[in-house]
Amino acid sequence: MSLPRRYPLIFNPSARSQKGARTRHFLMQHAHRFALYATNSGGEATELAKKFADDGEPVVIAAGGDGTLNAVVSGLAGSSTAIGVMPAGTMNVFARELGIPSNSLDKALEVIDRGLIREIDLFSANDAPFVQMAGVGFDAMVIEETQWEMKKLLGPLAYLLAAVKVLGKKPPIMDIVSCDGRREQGVAVLCGNGSLYGGQFKLFRKASNLDSKLDVIVFKESGYRFVLDTLHGIAQGGIDLAATTVYFQSEAVTVTSATTVPVEIDGELLGRFNEIRFRETATRLRVLAPEHPCGTPLMDTVKSVLQWPPGGYETAGIETR
């Protein structure tokens, strides 16, 4: 009798929320389908993924949120190993971008079993790969300011409280230089490889993860003008339509600042730097994804919010503490 293939699957077993418990229950129910590898940190997940790639494993599954996904992608970068996505985080932005069901692990597994591989652009910030987006300045500062304990207690609301705190700070002015010679100055920068940000928001209107280009948004103003213009731009149909933003596409961008500024990739804090180099990696990323999207980003996000437990903030993925 031929048995289904057992995929190596990387996950963090320490999540304690209801969604984390449901993920662990699903994995135990389908344990005959996976070789489970529990990890304690993003670095450990990266090392495991790299070992699988070096050993010639054709598929590695990341079960968790965007942080888990980023850690596994970092280990697979440069290899021919494909990544399977089991969305078990709160927003699962990358899964939504590719149309992978983000609120049904059974359907996500069906996508993996179907075996359709898409090759997408993979960019890096100071040689650290990211699949969806990166931020310099404001949104990275919010992540930096959000304490682990507050995330466990308040969930997504913890980020909102941190944002209010960050809005009162005066950010440094950054210089942004594109590889084609374009120069801008601003207080925050977002670089998108995909169109979505934070779940359902189509922040980068022209973005494609197949065009070898980053979509870059430069914010000129800080404080509450930053928030008002951002909301106004989204309401108009594109944040780039706000008066205090600049939007362009580029194959490579360098951001410099006289003082160190925080950088996040795929929602995880990378660190603080004076210079950040955004470049495409030498090879594309192979992802198991549906031919046609399953569900819609908006409905998936609504379901995620409705399922969010008030007692704690979940990701079944790797957390930065």
Each residue of 138-160: pLDDT tens digit? 989 988 888 766 666 766 677 77
* 86 within a domain of the structure (yes/no): yes
Q: Give, for 142, the enclosing helix (H) or strand (E).
A: helix 138-145
Which residues constitute the domain of residue 104? 7-122+283-307
**Helices within 15-137 (DSSP H only):** 18-29, 42-54, 66-76, 93-98, 105-114
Q: What is the pLDDT of residues 182-192, one digit of tens each?
A: 999 999 999 99
pLDDT of residue 304: 42
* 319 within a domain of the structure (yes/no): no
| CA separation for the pair 216, 239 (Å, rounded) | 11
Q: Are residues 173 and 295 in the same domain?
A: no
- Please report, for the domain that includes residue 220, its CATH number: 2.60.200.40
pLDDT band at 65 (very low <50, low <70, confident <90, very high): confident
pLDDT band at 301 (very low <50, low <70, confident <90, very high): very low
Q: How many domains does the chain have?
A: 2
Q: Are residues 269 and 152 in the same domain?
A: yes
Token code pair at residue 245: 């933003």
Q: What is the pLDDT of residues 78-137, one digit of tens each?
A: 999 999 999 988 778 999 999 999 889 999 999 999 999 999 999 999 999 999 999 999
